[in-house]
A and B are shown apart, each in its own frame.
Chain A
Amino acid sequence: MNAALPPRGAPLLRAEGIGISFGGLRALDGVGFEARAGEVLAVIGPNGAGKTTLFNIVTGLYRAGSGRILLDGANVTEAPPHHLAAAGLSRTFQNLQVFFRMTALENVMAGRHLREGSGLLADLFRLPRTRRDNEATRQAAMALLDWVGLADKAEIPAGSLPYGALKRLEIARAMATDPRVLMLDEPAAGCNPVETEEIDHLIAEVAARGVAVVLIEHDMKLVMRISRHVVVLNQGRLLAAGTPAEVRNNPAVIAAYLGTHGAAEASRGSARDNARGSARDDARGSARDDPRGDAHA
């Protein structure tokens, strides 16, 4: 099982000055964040801001052009994804990366890979070690499926599960690695309000267990409700960072989301009345729905 998680608030994952270029295009430049145990950090920004690119660098799928990544104090900037996974970093994907040919249960079982030590020879000859691994993995995976509400779908091929279920299946698979840092790339994208709320609960529970959660999300209500810190990216640069309340009131953030015209309108609006607005954007919409400041009390 997992080693005891560090105390709440202890920094677990730190990215500093991350930069990367794709054929002359500076996709990210000097971006950083810090994820802490038991807390949810949201990474937001308009489409094309570089959020997923940042995730891909931090999880080892892309190599950073500059900057460094520290996982629990160790420099893991050059580490391949499977080493990072072994070090306690797990993730989900914006465009689902489910194992479609496997059943829901097998998907989560695959996530237990790092906890299985039977070895290839034992697997080929089905030694007792392999049978023990299979059994332990099956039980752990069933517990996780139950947690995300998919226990009754265990034997169903992932390829025939509905979208919302696949989103939760990916979270269960990511949690099967016993991560200390969980990175979720738009976990509620394309989900209806009920599904979004379920995922909201799951994320809160993961954080409550002491896992550091890093979240990319466009649903601002979700972001404001569950995150303790927010990092805003725009055009590959760090635009703002702070608590949800701070970020929401940041004129630069509003400008990036609404354009300059909208920003002027927004600043006029906020000068008159802090909470009113035309709700032209999610950010504004959530600003109206959530009374300021209590989103992360």
Chain B
Amino acid sequence: MSNLLEVKNLSVEINEQEILRDLDLKIETGTLHVVMGPNGAGKSTLSNVLLGHPNFKVNTGQILFAGQDVTNLSPEERAILGLFMSWQQPPEIDGVALDQFLFLAYKNIFSARDKAWIAPSVFEFSEILKKQAESLKIKPELLKRSLNVGFSGGEKKKIEMLQLSLFNPKLAILDETDSGLDIDALKIVAENINMYHQNKGTVLLITHYPQILEFIKPDFVHVMVKGKIVTTGGEELINNIKQTGFSSFIK
């Protein structure tokens, strides 16, 4: 199988501080990876850099995605290629109606992916949206409200999951997707991730809190410390971490 994502020798800084150092990571199409690590290891930086956050400066290295060097591409270009991140704390934006934002994003992404694509009407799109929301048990009235404004932690995460289904990305990066969720919401989110994975979706789950791993079975587990992947293994690493924490990986 080919690599969907290949991060080579990546060093990244922000405000003249190096956060990632010579980081390497390979993710094959269709696999499910977990990156774990203590606070401050650079996990969030990794996801932001993969997504193309303009504030981070890539000093050395390369990010290859779907056979293309994306190191210098804009966030929107990466989204169109099929990179997606479920945010740990998605922003609340006043006055931006969720359904209107999703409609514009949906049209942008699919029309750029396929020139022959014909955009749905507002009505057709609202039907698509309603169906997706229903399967995630999202209250339909949320779709008309301002993006994330006054939403509960669980509702915000579900809206992220909704976008995962809607935009059908090649790689889903899930940044601390399990934080701030009650057990019912966690199950729905995990179910959704599993479904995406079963449909040949590739997953990179970033977490320091392994509760969600009771519901999701990873193919690979990476341990990240001080801006580097220090160990890669299978599921058994999770038990190690549960028992002894990250201390054994910090040398």
Q: Do A and B come from one complex?
A: no
